[in-house]
Amino acid sequence: MQQCVCVDFCFCLEKTGAETYKKLQAAFGESCLSQSKKLRGIPVSKVDAHPLKMTPPGRPSTSHTEETVPRVRENIHAERLLTIREVAEKVRIAFGTWQKILTEDLQMRRVTVKFVPRLLMAEQKDDCILVYTDLHERAQNDPNFMSSLITGDECWVYGYDPETKQMSSQWNTASSPRPKKAQQVNSNVKTMLIALFDIDRLVHHEYVPRGQTVNKEFYRTVLQCLRDVVRRHRPEKWHSGNWILHHDNASAHRDVTTNEFLAKHNIPSLPHPTYSADLAPCDFFLFPQLKKTMEAHRFD
């Protein structure tokens, strides 16, 4: 056993059999076999200039074959949540071989899921395409289309909003440790804000009284106030009647009584795709900017 270990160790270090045999003689003395018998079982191979680097053996892999790759592809496509070890045990392939097939042959990598508000069905996706196409065509054909829009939504305004990651960011060098901050929650003091704006500025806003829900009756009063504000502060829109309301698909926004109010006063409205987070100017523009300004004034 000792001789086998010594043979392997010396063979990895030396370039020639003679040098290996000298090492064996020095280690075992007279008990060492003759050079011809000792070197008879040592395979001949080239060794790099570096004493610890050997060329890889020429024996081909028995598991990484043309038949194995389709089996791996079939298993991973059937169940993409499987780990490398689970598929390796299922297909009976070595862990390293399976990993090589996955990353090199199939060009795949494991990624985490992306959370979205809703997973749309095929009909809902088709509806989104139709609405987006219609809006794009109207914007292309009518140069005043964007200026005629008045859009709005509701949001909660808290007495205290925690700083966002962007607001808490700071300049650091590469060697500086990453800053830490305890997680904070919104305050219990809150009120709901309804804001409507156009391409120029805020048109109308109001706070919902505490205990009041934005139902169809309350939203109808909001639309009446909006109509009065347009008449007083947007006379060009009022006289031409060239203004369009855009809001999302909340129950109060799409109620029959709300549609009857809009039809009675000849106020056209834009369709909103189902569960669409793309067409929401209040969510990605107005409310974040508004809360950032409120935070800045709070710290002044």
Task: Tell me the per-residue pLDDT of 186-215, one tens digit each, with 9 for 90 and over.
Answer: 667 788 999 999 988 899 999 999 889 999
**Cβ contact 151:247 at 8 Å:** yes
Average pLDDT value for the chain: 76
* Residue 172 predicted with pLDDT over 60: yes
Query: What is the model's pLDDT at position 148?
Result: 92
Alpha-carbon distance 23 to 27, whole Å?
6
CATH number of 122-168+183-299: 3.30.420.10
Mean pLDDT, to the nearest integer, of 19-42? 62
Rounded mean pLDDT of 170-196?
77
* 194 three-state secondary structure: strand
Looking at residue 224, its pLDDT comes to: 95
The 10s digit of each residue's pLDDT in 89-112 is 776 777 777 778 778 888 887 777
Mean pLDDT of the 123-140 span: 90
- Chain mean position to CA 195: 30
Question: Residue 84: what pLDDT?
Answer: 72
pLDDT digits (tens, 9 = 90+) for 58-88: 444 555 666 777 877 787 777 777 777 777 7
Torsions phi, psi for 193 (to 5 deg): -110, 135
Strand blocks (E) in 138-243: 149-158, 190-197, 202-207
- pLDDT reported for residue 206: 92
**Which sign does the torsion angle of CA 132, 136, 137, 139 carry?**
positive
Confidence (pLDDT) at 6: 47
Token couple for 26: 């020095």
Query: Dihedral (C-alpha) 212, 214, 218, 219: value to the nearest 10 degrees?
Result: 160
| Assigned token pair, 262 | 């809009």
Query: C-alpha angle 216/261/266, rounded to 5°?
Result: 150
Q: Which residue has the higher pLDDT, 222 or 280?
A: 222
Sheet architecture: strand order including 202-207: 202-207, 190-197, 149-158, 244-246
Report which of residues 235 and 6 the model is more confident about: 235
